[in-house]
Structure 1
Amino acid sequence: MADVKVYIKGKLAKKGKALKSKRMQQFNTLKNSKQEVLHELHDHTYEQAIELDDAGAHFEVGTSTGQTPWFEGRRVVELDVLSQNMNCIKCNSWLRLHDIMDEVICGMASLLYIKCSSSLCQYVNTVPTGKRSDNRSFDVNSKAYLAMINAGMGPSHVAKFLSGCNIPPISESTLRDKEKKLTPAIFDAAEASCEREREEEREKSFSTGLEGSFDAGWQKRGSGWNYNSNTGHASLVGVNSGKILNFDVRSKICSVCQFHSGRNETIPSHECNINWTGSSKGMEPDMACSIMKDMADKGFEVGTLHADNDATTQSRLPSTITKKDDKSHVKKNLSSRLYSLSKKYKQLKSAKVIPYIVRCFMYTISKNQGSKDAMEAELASVVPHIFGDHTQCSKSWCTYNKDPAKFRYKHLPNGRALSGESLKEEMENLAKSYIARADRLKNLGSTQANESFNNSVVSFAPKNRFYGGTKALKARVSSAVMQKNEGCGWLSKVNEKASLSPGHLTKLYGLRRDRIRKKTRDLKSTVAFKRKRVSLKYKHVQCEQREAVKEGDTYGEEIELKMLMLKLFHQRGG
């Protein structure tokens, strides 16, 4: 059936377009009317103003256009604004909510059209449900976008939440428009925060060059053999301050380019989101060089850098920068090698054995920081100690010489030393590889602060959702920087940059969360808490191993097929 067409301003157009044109005319008539809202509340003043609008208002007219009636569902209302505008601008009579004639929904706010109750006046007043900025956009829509980022949600999640509360959901186009307008404010606030932390780090530094830790992360989980994320981020954390000094973001995709290319259309002029065309693995060293250059251009030379050995970062940095290997990655790689050996040697499968061996190695490395010879000597004594030879052991960590007759290993099976020449040879080769690296191991650094920041980024931009095609990823990484540097009250500073009210309840919640985080951090740093955590972990592993022995093989690679083949073999009398 052919589309029904009508005339609009002398031109033939489809009926759907005619209805849209009619709605726009109604909205423009209301917008350009002589009605004025008497009271516009502003509890904040800033020198700079940022232009915000409600993306053409994305309005929905109420009963007059067949949309959701104004009395259906719930609304987000600022009571102070509503109360101060509930009087007729013609006769100053009080207005009543049950006299509402229509409603225009603007995101999470509304314009209510209320008829004066006076029989002599009957004037239709326009009453907003919230504060508006100078360009007439509602503040609640801008704050909804910032709240969405703070909660680590996307537009669809906001719509699901609001619709579940029976509140008219804010449209995705409105949130996308706020993203374009507010991302520069978030990024500028993050840059200003980094600038303050750089100055603080310089004041706390004891040398001319700053000392920082560097690490990068991807927004897509690596499989262990394939790393193909389209986006990545990196951070430089000051060793003395523990705060972000600089950060960078890389993206290989632009949603605008992708949209028009998919339609074989000419890509229009736009601010392209692509700033990297190489491989995903090449992002980390490139961002390291970019951050170091940016720091130098701003007058902050980095003298020492803590980083892992997972990328070719050091080979691309200037020779003036001294690199320290990451202690956490040294421990992680040692554990991985021991767990690989446990597939071959049954003695290593006990819950406490591998953690005990790792502690022996890492205690030796940590104890002898700065002394290569002492580290080499004690590393050579670790394997003999585990296998019952205590002639080379140091009295500072081995208690065998105090009472040889009663000595027992606390964390080895039955309190006895490990045995087996083959296993001992494998362990000695492992120890020799670390002795050969003693020159690098004697001066280790830490990227734990960067790993913590990467976890924060995941809370703002979860890896199961993609935000790298627009400015959304940059806004979310910048938000993670603000939270790392400023705490949970970072939203108030972004509100200031965006010319929005700081938010009294927003500040209170941020302060409360900061207090809880500090209390939790102090608790987790105590020796008693760490010992309890290790004990609970051991009990959990021990319970898992006990139940696995009772149940037999229940999960594994193609285990179902192996069981079927074994069953067929027995049925055939094998």
Structure 2
Amino acid sequence: MERNKKGRFTKRNYTAWRQKKVQNDHDYCVKSDSKPDIKCVEGESWKVGRRLVEWEVLFENLRYCKNCRLGPVTLSVNTIRGELQKGLSGYLYVECQNCCFVNSAAYGKTHRTSKNQGMPCFAVNTKLGTAMIDSLGGPRRVNNMLATLNLKTVSETNLKKMEKRAGVVLEKVSTESANAAADEAFRLEMESVAEKESLEVQASMSGLVEELGVCPMPDSSPALMMSFHDNMNANEDDTDDESRPSEEDDLNCTGNDVSLSVETPLSCNAFRTPTDTRKPLPVPVLTPQSDRKTDQQIKKAKVRLLPKFPCQTRSGMSVAVDTAWHKRGFDSLTSHTFFMTTGKSRQPKKVVKTIVSHRTCGVCNWWRRKRPGQKVRPHACVRNHRGSARAMEATSGVKGVKELLAEGIPVEYLEGDGDNTLISRLKTDLGVSMKKRFDKNHVVKNFTKGLYKLKSEKGVKLSKTVISHLEKCLKYTFSKNQGDQIGMEENLKAIVPHQFGDHSLCNARFCGYKRKPGSSYTHRSLPYKTSLQDSNLRQKLQQLFDPIIYNAGHYIDLGSSQQCEHANKEVTLRAPKSHQYGNSSCIDYLVHATAAFINEGRHYISKKLLLFFTYTCLLDLLT
């Protein structure tokens, strides 16, 4: 009996079996000109199955023989001696016809993860790991796809290594994209708020001097305002005096006219050219071509002036926040939180921060279960949350806001559901007072839940048609009264009486009975197109609307976190809730892949990752 590599007893001679599996085609540590040993790879296995071949790389490696330096090396059926496959790529062993030396030629691009240590990694394998994170969703699905395409399958251990290698790069790409989106969103939102402030101030100003482009500020002192208007009136009088001709000019003109009409002898001076008493024009100064400012330079100058005049009413940007758990309920072991831009920044809604929380670590759990009492081996532990799953949302929110503040991007408004735990935690832990915008969809959804709960009560007759109609009325009221608290309260108070035929509180803007008082009115969305009659139902509905009417001031500035819901949906497509991904960093890669996809689009894999790998390879060559 002998132990295998996992420490279990086995009947197989593990040492001899391991030696058979060793493939030593040549020595990577010591340079040798001897012919490599290819007994382990020679054969006709290269004729079976399909390969992903990059012809440019293969022909570049066969440009000359590594022994005799003659070339190119002929590639034919008779010169191929074997193949060493490495995932989806590998090495082809081709014999030189001049010196019979067997050359190993890689038929795929390679890169290194460290500085000239170990064998290089094939780029196609790293991209396969990226595809497993972004699209395929696990080693088994990857091998099922490869088997369908008649490509060589890859062991799950190697696939996890490819996933980790690609996941580290993907996290960096996602972080850089989120930072750029946060900077852009903060700048655009502050410019938008400053522009609105300028328009409001301009509308409130009076006495604008268009020639000078100046006017007194609205909060100026009365003495300054009177002095300014007096000077303006005096300037207008002076202008009128200068433009009116003088009496002497009139007399001279009259005398000249009279003298011309009388027949008098003309003197010689009458035929002289009149002298020009006007002042000479200044000589134009030609500016050199280098000193002339182009439109682009003027635009840059304006951009430089913007930070000098920031907005006065706002100090931070608005972000939408939402947390999702990877298991239904509050006993989940993993959660993720998205911070996304809102419609206030005048740009597509993008991810500015992602936070993933783990309550457990798979490696630590294995050591506690299998090796109790022993010290856990050093590893990258993913556990970063100690507490209940319910507290994950507030903890992740505080962590995200803190990181944004450290990056120089303050946050002033949070848009999300009605949970105010995050607001209180921010004030307690960071000393920051945040403002909350309720999500319109969450408010309507909670109201609809209350209606269905009321429907299930005994003795209450409430159909789905009435529920959908009340939900529609509430949405209309929220949409049409943004920024108008009085109008919001009046319309909310009129919703319930309107359904029962009482139009005393209705507004003609929403009620057809008020618009056409003389005609018969029918409820098009209620059952039988008539008013409701149940007094008990009216009392119950009024009790349901009273809290909404009381908090009408909170609903005049509603936000939306539907972009976060969309991001959560994208995560579930990559990490279904029926599977557990929270024991390792796999879920981190999946969340960052979702963020990169939302910010950069589907082509982020081919563009961003390719640039990053190229940059890494260049650094390795230079160092």
Pick the TM interval, shorter chain: 0.7 to 0.9
* CA–CA distance in structure 2, aligned partners of residues 139 and 104 of structure 1: 16
Match for residue 548 of structure 2 among 424, 430, 434? 434
Match of 2:454 in 1: 341
Change in 2 beyond 3 A, CA 1:483/1:452: same
Whether the 8 Å CA contact 2:418–2:443 is kept in 1: the answer is no
Alpha-carbon deviation of 1:4?
A: 11
Whether the 8 Å CA contact 2:321–2:414 is kept in 1: the answer is yes
Per-residue CA deviations over 1:110-167 (Å, capped at 9, x if unaligned) read 2122335x4x644323222211225522111111111222215112211111122221
Whether the 8 Å CA contact 2:489–2:552 is kept in 1: the answer is yes
Match for residue 317 of structure 1 among 419, 426, 429? 426
Match for residue 525 of structure 2 among 411, 416, 430? 411
Match of 1:361 in 2: 474
SS at match of 2:121: coil
* CA–CA distance in structure 2, aligned partners of residues 18 and 354 of structure 1: 75
SS at match of 1:450: helix
Alpha-carbon deviation of 1:383?
A: 0.7
1:372 aligns with 2:485: yes
TM-score of the aligned structures, taking structure 2 as reference length = 0.68
Whether the 8 Å CA contact 1:97–1:114 is kept in 2: the answer is no
SS at match of 2:582: coil
Change in 2 beyond 3 A, CA 1:390/1:15: same
SS at match of 1:373: helix
Per-residue CA deviations over 1:81-125 (Å, capped at 9, x if unaligned) read 234445662553422146533221111112122335x4x644323
1:23 aligns with 2:17: no
Q: Which runs of 5+ in 1 are unaligned?
A: 6-12, 37-58, 503-574
Alpha-carbon deviation of 1:449?
A: 1.6
Match of 1:444 in 2: 558
1:176 aligns with 2:153: no
Amino acid aligned to 2:363? V
Change in 2 beyond 3 A, CA 1:27/1:462: farther
Whether the 8 Å CA contact 1:229–1:280 is kept in 2: the answer is yes
Change in 2 beyond 3 A, CA 1:185/1:87: closer
* CA–CA distance in structure 1, aligned partners of residues 170 and 564 of structure 2: 20
Alpha-carbon deviation of 1:471?
A: 1.9
Q: Which deviates more from structure 2 when the two are superposed, residues 436-445 or residues 419-428? A: 436-445
SS at match of 2:159: helix
Per-residue CA deviations over 1:175-205 (Å, capped at 9, x if unaligned) read 3223333333222222211221222122112
Match of 1:217 in 2: 324
* CA–CA distance in structure 1, aligned partners of residues 33 and 143 of structure 2: 32
Amino acid aligned to 1:459? L
* CA–CA distance in structure 1, aligned partners of residues 18 and 448 of structure 2: 65
Whether the 8 Å CA contact 1:152–1:459 is kept in 2: the answer is no
* CA–CA distance in structure 2, aligned partners of residues 111 and 288 of structure 1: 49
Whether the 8 Å CA contact 1:88–1:123 is kept in 2: the answer is no
Whether the 8 Å CA contact 1:228–1:280 is kept in 2: the answer is yes
Match of 1:528 in 2: none
Match for residue 125 of structure 1 among 100, 103, 107? 103
Alpha-carbon deviation of 1:388?
A: 1.7
Percentage of pairs with the same residue: 29
Alpha-carbon deviation of 1:32?
A: 6.5
Whether the 8 Å CA contact 2:111–2:613 is kept in 1: the answer is no
Q: Which deviates more from structure 2 when the two are superposed, residues 281-290 or residues 14-23? A: 14-23
Change in 2 beyond 3 A, CA 1:454/1:324: same
* CA–CA distance in structure 1, aligned partners of residues 525 and 186 of structure 2: 45
SS at match of 1:103: strand
1:472 aligns with 2:586: yes
Change in 2 beyond 3 A, CA 1:464/1:498: farther
Whether the 8 Å CA contact 2:129–2:165 is kept in 1: the answer is no
Match for residue 354 of structure 2 among 247, 267, 290? 247
SS at match of 1:151: helix
Change in 2 beyond 3 A, CA 1:97/1:357: farther
1:72 aligns with 2:48: yes
Q: Which deviates more from structure 2 when the two are superposed, residues 229-238 or residues 120-129? A: 120-129
* CA–CA distance in structure 2, aligned partners of residues 308 and 476 of structure 1: 25
Whether the 8 Å CA contact 2:136–2:142 is kept in 1: the answer is no
Change in 2 beyond 3 A, CA 1:238/1:25: closer
Match for residue 131 of structure 2 among 122, 138, 147? 147
Alpha-carbon deviation of 1:337?
A: 1.3
Amino acid aligned to 1:324? R
Match of 2:333 in 1: 230
Change in 2 beyond 3 A, CA 1:35/1:261: farther
Alpha-carbon deviation of 1:465?
A: 2.3
Match of 2:183 in 1: 199
Match of 1:42 in 2: none
TM-score of the aligned structures, taking structure 1 as reference length = 0.74
Alpha-carbon deviation of 1:211?
A: 1.4
Q: If you compute each CA radius of gyration, which structure gives the higher value, 1 or 2?
A: 2
Alpha-carbon deviation of 1:403?
A: 5.5
* CA–CA distance in structure 1, aligned partners of residues 549 and 318 of structure 2: 26
1:332 aligns with 2:310: no
Alpha-carbon deviation of 1:336?
A: 1.2
**Aligned-residue CA RMSD (Å):** 3.0
Amino acid aligned to 1:495? L
Alpha-carbon deviation of 1:501?
A: 10
Whether the 8 Å CA contact 1:179–1:471 is kept in 2: the answer is no
SS at match of 1:201: helix
Change in 2 beyond 3 A, CA 1:124/1:287: same
Aligned residues: 462
Match of 2:569 in 1: 455
Amino acid aligned to 2:58? L
* CA–CA distance in structure 2, aligned partners of residues 60 and 369 of structure 1: 78
Whether the 8 Å CA contact 1:86–1:96 is kept in 2: the answer is no
SS at match of 1:355: helix
SS at match of 2:111: coil
Change in 2 beyond 3 A, CA 1:484/1:288: same
